[in-house]
């Protein structure tokens, strides 16, 4: 399976997930367990993705490098309620600066 297949399968799947909600009668899916999973699964996934992309190195390694400082700065910006793109920019700039200074 190549990248294009992954792109198109994801597109089809995400579209169907959206369509299901608009199409099925409410009550069929609107159960506490489903609602809880839909609310919390993204939290778990996003936290995992944040952690792995900050500390991951290759397929199986973990490392503490300039990205961690960049992300700490981004976390501060987020806490100060900075807009989305500013948060991302802070992470990029701080990471680049740390690498520049550390040589």
* Stretch 24-53 residues interacting with other proteins (CB under 8 A): 24, 26, 29-30, 34-53
Residue 102 in the binding site for other proteins (CB under 8 A): no
Q: Which of 69, 57, 62, 55 has the alpha carbon at shortest distance from 97?
A: 69
What's the gap between Cα 61 and its chain centre?
A: 19
* Least distance CB 32 / other proteins (angstroms): 11
User: Would you state the structure tokens that stand for residue 60, as one six-digit string?
Assistant: 């199986």
Cα distances (angstroms) measured from residue 99 to each of 6, 50, 69, 92:
34, 20, 10, 11
**Measured from the CB of residue 31, what is the shortest distance to other proteins in angstroms?**
10
Q: How many residues bind other proteins (CB under 8 A)?
A: 75
Which residues in the 56-95 window bind other proteins by CB under 8 A? 56, 59-62, 66-67, 70-71, 74-75, 78-79, 81, 83-85, 87-88, 90-95
């Amino acid at each position: 399976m190549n990248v294009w297949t992954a792109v198109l399968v994801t597109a089809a799947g995400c579209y169907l997930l959206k369509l299901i909600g608009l199409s099925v009668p409410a009550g069929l899916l609107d159960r506490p367990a489903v609602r809880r999973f839909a609310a919390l699964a993204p939290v778990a996934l996003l936290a995992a993705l944040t952690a792995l992309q900050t500390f991951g190195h290759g397929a199986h390694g973990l490392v503490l490098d300039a990205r961690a400082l960049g992300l700490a700065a981004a976390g501060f910006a987020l806490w100060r309620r900075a807009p989305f793109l500013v948060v991302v920019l802070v992470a990029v700039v701080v990471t680049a600066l740390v690498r520049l200074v550390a040589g």
